[in-house]
Amino acid sequence: MGRVSNDDAVIDTLLENMRNDPNPLFRDKAACALAHDQPHLTEKQRVLLLEGLVQALEDEKPDVRNIASLALQIQTGQNKGDVQTWKTWVAEYRENIYGAP
């Protein structure tokens, strides 16, 4: 899949592939790229990546929920458990990067 470059479109494409590619192997590969291969992201792009992973925790496909959870754990070093806790955490993370709304 390649590195996540300093381009929002790459993040969006990998998130889309992770959630919707018909082949589970390609969904997994996209999640791996999001979890491991993003040295050029800005903090604001990292927010987009984390928000996309948190949204994927509610996907209808169990494998997507699982790989999103694993990618979040790799990205953050944390295991928040339930979706609502992750949503609260990512909202606070966004606020720390962008400032209060």
Report the distance separating Cα 48 and Cα 45, nearest Å.
Answer: 5
Q: Using one digit for the tens of pLDDT, what is the confidence trace for 23-74?
A: 999 999 999 999 986 778 889 999 999 999 999 999 999 999 999 999 999 9
The answer to whether residue 3 sits within a structural domain is no
The answer to whether residue 53 sits within a structural domain is yes
Residues spanned by the domain of 36: 8-98
Contact 75, 49 (CB under 8 A): yes
Report the distance separating Cα 90 and Cα 96, nearest Å.
Answer: 10
Report the distance separating Cα 97 and Cα 25, nearest Å.
Answer: 33
Whole-model pTM: value is: 0.90
CATH code, 60: 1.25.10
Q: Per the structure, how many domains does the chain have? A: 1
pLDDT band of 19, cuts 50, 70, 90:
very high
